[in-house]
Amino acid sequence: MAKTPDERESEGRSAPRRRVLLGGKLIYGDPPLSLDCSVADLSESGARIRLQGPEPLRKPIYLVVIRQELAFLAKEEWRKGATIGLSFVRAFDLKNPAPELPRIVRQLWIEQTRGRPRE
């Protein structure tokens, strides 16, 4: 049985987790679907996200964090209602996306940043 964040808190993590409150997008399944989410905790190795409901996720799962200009190929590690723990399999820089990054993720990035001033 997968462990909840509280159970994993006492175990060592591969990377320190930071509390954040970021908007995100999930792109999942084949054919791909997209869904808004909130990113509550973030580390180099994973994230805790919240959905509006207990939506079942199908592989592959990509978490897109527009503000950080990153996308992650992810794996669902645990779930408690609408809160999900993801581990990252691979990170992608959205400013210079790798050819393996699905077109829908690149397209979402373009749509979300269109007209946004560069920092």
Half-sphere exposure of 107 (CA within 13 A, CB side): 6
According to DSSP, residue 118 is labeled P
Considering the domain boundaries, does residue 119 fall inside one?
no
In a domain, 4, yes or no: no
Question: Is residue 2 included in any domain, yes or no?
Answer: no
Answer yes or no: is 85 within a domain. Answer: yes
pTM of structure? 0.82
The closest of 49, 38, 41 to 80, measured between CA atoms, is 49
> Can you give the residue range of the structural domain that contains 91?
18-113
pLDDT digits (tens, 9 = 90+) for 62-96: 999 989 999 999 999 999 999 999 999 999 999 99
Does 3 fall in a domain?
no
In the predicted model, is pLDDT for residue 14 greater than 80? no
In the block, tokens 């799962």 appear at: 61
| Whether pLDDT at 7 is above 70 | no
Spatial distance between the Cα atoms of 48 and 43, rounded to a whole number of angstroms: 9
Q: Is residue 6 part of a domain?
A: no
Domain with residue 24: its CATH number is 2.40.10.220
Q: Does residue 12 fall inside a structural domain?
A: no
**In the predicted model, what is the mean pLDDT of residues 44-72?**
94
Domain count of the fold of the chain: 1
User: Is 23 domain-assigned?
Assistant: yes
